Amino acid sequence: MGLLDLPPEIIDYILDFAGPAGLEGFVLSCKAVYERAKTQIQDHNSLRRRWRHTNNQSTSRRGDTLSVLYEISRNPIISEYIETLSLWDRRSDEDINSQGVTDNFRDDEQSMQEIKSLLRNAEFFQNADLEEWWFEIMEEDQATDIERVDKLYATVALLALLPNLKTLQLPDRWHEVRSDEAAEALVPSVESLVSMSNDNTHKRRWQALQSLETIMPFTEEGYDVRVGLQCLQPFMVLNSIRNLYAVSCVAIDNDWGGIPFHWRYASKSPLTRIEFASCCMDAHGLDALLANTPAVTIFKYSHQTKWDGLEVDWNPGEFLQTLADRLGKQLIDLAITVDEIHGDIINGLSSFHSFPKLRKLEVDVIPFCGPPLESGQRLGRDAFVPDGAEAWTHSDIPCLGDMLPDSICEVHLNTDFPLPSEQSLKSLVKNIIDRRKDKLRHLECCIIRQYQSDTAQDIADRHEIILEVFDMDAMDPRARAMMPLWKREFDQKVGGIVTAMST
């Protein structure tokens, strides 16, 4: 029997249950089906426009995740249309007050029962205590204190309904699932949700989080903002996950006030891109992550000393060595920059030869400004110079041309010239012309980027390097931390970074 031999009502039934993933392919199978599906196509396009990119900021309540659950309870197919979800409500009080009156579904007992029934029928809640979950959702929804404005229980409930979600921005308070005693009960639930998504033993039309590829930042940058990277770890083992963007995350074991990162699962992560802006990590925390993310080919990091002197001294030499040990053979795009450091560079960068496939590098001058690991010397609180050794100076910074692998195609070098010394920039670029002729044959783009000044123009000219001046004549200059190109691309793509000039 051919498709068109089916009774029309059967074709209508198929159309109604095809869902967003199957409808387009089905209606394009033949002209007759397309003609019959005009109503469904119209509904499909309308739902796609309305729900493809969803947030919890459409009412006059901050972080109103319950309103999204309410809309899904009215029309469950909505859950299959949500591909991008932002639960980080960054609206000002003015913006919220201009939204008008909050939906009054909370005052309607029937509407609230429909939300509860929606959850009861979800696979995730089949083995859960729904009454307890509903109690917690209501407690958070009715809370007035600002610390509970983000609805963590409602967040997990919503995620349990979304099979086609590709990009997720968690609520600002999400990090409390690892630190807050009450919210910690959510950790096993999140792990269970991820486990169900990865379960391939049962053939299902859809499974929550089966399509999630990208985690977006959910906090801002700042010296006093610290979020444990650990709170994101459950999502890292999703079979579908590929990209991790984070701001102000901490992964430090040893320093006082640090927030450690440990890998708690037997499985590795399929992540291929990691970008950490304004984060605070040492080599130990980084190693715990990279040992379990073997597929990463793009890694970008900017360092920021955090509140109470967390990583006041930083060791980019050890940091780079960890990257080389874990990902050196495969990285193609690397950035290491510094947003804010209150102390010293313990050991500086000294070689990128362990990255034979590296094509693009962006790096600040500052991470080079410390003795190399192999010297045995250290700067900072635990400064050390071996007996008989001559103390390191900026004149000892290696030449960049000697540090780069033959594969390199593009280099961005960000400088605060003449700080920390005139010699640091001069040391880095002094042999670049010769190396581009005899070794770095693929290096097509080499840029020195200077903050609000062109005093490095002569150095750039003498070494045949492009000088790019950052915000010198801008009416509203951005903060120094936004000078790296990758940071600006990060902020444009995912947000979460303060771009106004710091005072």
Per-residue pLDDT of the chain (503 residues), as tens digits, is 455 555 665 555 555 555 666 555 555 556 555 555 656 666 777 888 899 999 998 888 888 999 999 999 999 999 999 999 999 988 887 777 776 655 689 999 999 999 999 999 999 998 888 999 999 999 988 876 655 567 899 999 999 999 999 999 999 889 887 665 556 678 889 999 999 999 876 655 579 999 999 999 999 999 999 999 999 999 999 999 999 999 999 999 876 678 999 999 999 999 999 999 999 999 999 999 999 999 999 999 999 999 888 999 999 999 999 999 999 999 999 999 999 999 999 999 999 999 999 999 999 999 999 999 999 999 999 999 999 999 999 999 999 999 999 999 999 999 999 999 999 999 999 999 999 999 999 999 999 999 999 999 999 999 999 999 999 887 888 899 999 999 999 999 887 675 444 43
Q: Using the Cα atoms of residue 232, residue 236, residue 239 and residue 241 in order, give the sign of their dihedral.
A: positive
Does 20 share its domain with 63?
A: no
Q: Which pLDDT value is given to residue 260?
A: 92
In a domain, 152, yes or no: yes
Q: Considering 212, 241, 264, which residue would you say is the last residue of a domain?
A: 212
- What is d(CA 254, CA 262) in angstroms, rounded to the nearest whole number? 13
Within a domain: residue 154?
yes
- 147 and 204 inside one domain: yes
Contact call for residues 273 and 298 (beta carbons, < 8 A): yes
Please tell me whether residues 128 and 172 are part of one structural domain.
yes
Residues 73 and 38 in one domain: no
Q: Which residues are 223's β-sheet partners? A: none
Whether 62 and 177 share a structural domain: yes
> Residue 60 has what pLDDT?
81
- pLDDT at residue 25, as a whole number: 53
Q: What's the chain's length in residues?
A: 503
Is residue 378 a part of any domain in this protein?
no
9 with 36, same domain? Answer: yes
Flag whether 468 is in a domain: no
d(CA 291, CA 295): 10
* The one-letter amino acid at 214: T
Same domain, 42 and 97: no
Q: Quick one: 78 and 23 in the same domain?
A: no
Residues 164 and 109 in one domain: yes
The range of the structural domain enclosing residue 42 comes to: 3-50
- Bridge-based pairing of strands 410-415 and 53-55 is unpaired
Q: Which tokens sit at 243?
A: 């990209």
Q: Which of 110, 120, 109, 104 is nearest to 64 (CA)?
A: 104
Three-class SS of residue 468? strand
Determine the pLDDT at residue 500. Answer: 41
Q: Around Cβ 446, how many Cβ atoms within 10 Å?
A: 23
Question: What are the structure tokens assigned to 129, written together?
Answer: 């205590």
Answer whether 487's CB lies under 8 Å from 468's CB.
no
Residues 26 and 100 in one domain: no
Say if residues 300 and 274 touch (Cβ distance below 8 Å): yes
- Distance set, CA 267 to CA 208, 270, 287, 291, 353 (Å): 19, 10, 16, 11, 30
- pLDDT confidence of residue 210: 94
Same domain flag for 87 and 158: yes
Contact (CB, 8 A) for 241 and 165: no
Give the pLDDT confidence score for residue 494 in this predicted structure.
84
- Which ranges of 330-470 does DSSP label H, i.e. alpha helix? 400-403, 422-429, 432-438, 457-462
Q: Which tokens in the block code for residue 77? A: 């197919």
> Looking at 128-229, which runs of residues are DSSP E strands?
167-169, 214-216, 227-228
Number of domains in the chain: 2
CA atoms within 13 A on the CB side of 500: 3
Report the distance separating Cα 304 and Cα 281, nearest Å.
9
Q: Note the pLDDT of residue 359.
A: 98
Asked, for residue 105, whether it belongs to a domain, the answer is yes
pLDDT at 102: 58
- The residues, any chain, with a CB within 8 Å of residue 465's CB and separated by 6 or more, are 429, 432, 446, 447, 448, 459
Regarding whether 173 and 117 lie in a shared domain, the answer is yes
In a domain, 27, yes or no: yes
- The answer to whether residue 8 sits within a structural domain is yes
Query: Of 311, 217, 330, nearest to 256 (Cα)?
Result: 311
Closest residue by Cα to residue 36 from 63, 7, 64: 7
107 Cβ contact partners less than 8 Å away, ≥ 6 residues apart: none
Residue 110: both structure tokens together:
């029937």
Is 337 within the bounds of a domain?
no
Last residue in a domain, options 161, 196, 212: 212
